[in-house]
Structure 1
């Protein structure tokens, strides 16, 4: 079961970054290349695992193929088509599900690089699997040293469980009953609460540092000081990992942090 200080988690001390320097991607975002799963689900649609993020806005730019992104918020269900050139993004709390209608490949842009990898994503599993962190982790875990076939099977099982939960949430919301979605939001917040001190450290050295660097640079320029320009540098990256089983598809992951 969950534990912790009922008045809220104590913040851990974090290092103070140089306010004029940040060499991660713009704004401290993360980027990955995603080939969306083409596995059929119970409703006949092919695609990924429905989930939400609690602190991160996410965006898609479509590289190739076609499909759609289904979203669910208290305002209701929505489906946006995805084709080359499309740009779609959504804020924290938006449940989203990628649908693959033919070789869908996208670039994913994620606010607060590192937070989703540190747990800022909760799958729409049926309520009994959201009861506590241990139960949830067991339901979503992929085998650490499994074969390709075993890892794929585990990824498909958790996808199917999340589609089951998503379908129920969509039906309730469409019928005018907001409580199941609200209950899912509460369960998601309870699951991630113990993680928030570590998230704050990642945010502090990532997105917050990027904003602080801009603030310091504007102050310098207002004084006529351009000394920070002498520290200009260039980074180039190849994927640090290729083809990893993600929630929505096979991921090529880049090391883009500061």
Structure 2
């Protein structure tokens, strides 16, 4: 018996949003965007807000237990923790966020330089020195908040040029990986679409042979210390089948 794929070629993560303060005195995560994927928050505890920047401007949305909010590729987002904010994160295109489809809002000079960006974005191995990884995650967040503040000021002033320049630099950073990412997408997302197409074809033809052969599949969060993510501490699930 083989397990069914997790719905829609998506991934799921448990997130505890960072509680320490950035230089602007707001507590929370690292502002960033995804170049391909859509992300959804299902708030399970606590409160906060989601700050976003896109071509429509700067926006905020309140987060409370039971809230559901999602945002597509290119929406810069920052999770702000007002207290105990915990989120179940659903990501489309499972495998692509893990492969690096996110770009953090470092200042323009850093995002425009691939080597400087990689140096600012990469964290040391937390299994070797967790304190060093935690400090590096805070520095990374603070640098991204600096760039986010500049983009927010421009958006509020009605100046689109800084955002467009950031988009162009973000695409340049990741465009060389598009062929590799397409392979992941075809296997995980199109594979799920193909399975649904096959079941619909079976229904239309009156066939039932593929029903009831997958059973139930469960997953638990990975053991050990949570990982240092962009928005907070992460517990990931292995939902491959």
Per the normalisation by structure 1, the TM-score is 0.89
Alpha carbon RMSD of aligned pairs, Å? 1.3
1:206 pairs, out of 179, 188, 196, with 188
Of residues 202-211 and 94-103 in structure 1, the stretch that sits farther from structure 2 once superposed is 202-211
Q: Deviations over 1:190-223 (max 9, x none)?
A: 1001111111111111111111111111011100
Cα distance in structure 2, aligned partners of 1:88 and 1:248:
15
Q: How does 1:24-63 map to 2 (within 5 A)?
A: 24-63=5-44
Q: Structure 2, unaligned stretches of length 5 or more? A: none
1:189 is aligned to 2:197: no
SS of equivalent to 1:227: coil
Q: Structure 1, unaligned stretches of length 5 or more? A: 1-20
Of residues 142-151 and 63-72 in structure 1, the stretch that sits farther from structure 2 once superposed is 142-151
* Residue matched to 2:201: 219
Aligned residues: 238
Shift of 1:39: 1.1
1:243 is aligned to 2:202: no
Cα distance in structure 1, aligned partners of 2:59 and 2:22:
19
Contact persistence 1:22–1:209 (CA under 8 A): no
Shift of 1:230: 4.0
Cα distance in structure 2, aligned partners of 1:180 and 1:105:
32
Per the normalisation by structure 2, the TM-score is 0.95
Cα distance in structure 1, aligned partners of 2:94 and 2:240:
7
Cα distance in structure 2, aligned partners of 1:37 and 1:49:
9
* Residue matched to 1:169: 151
Displaced runs of 4 or more, over 6 A? none
Q: Deviations over 1:142-192 (max 9, x none)?
A: 012541210011000010000000000010111111010001001100100
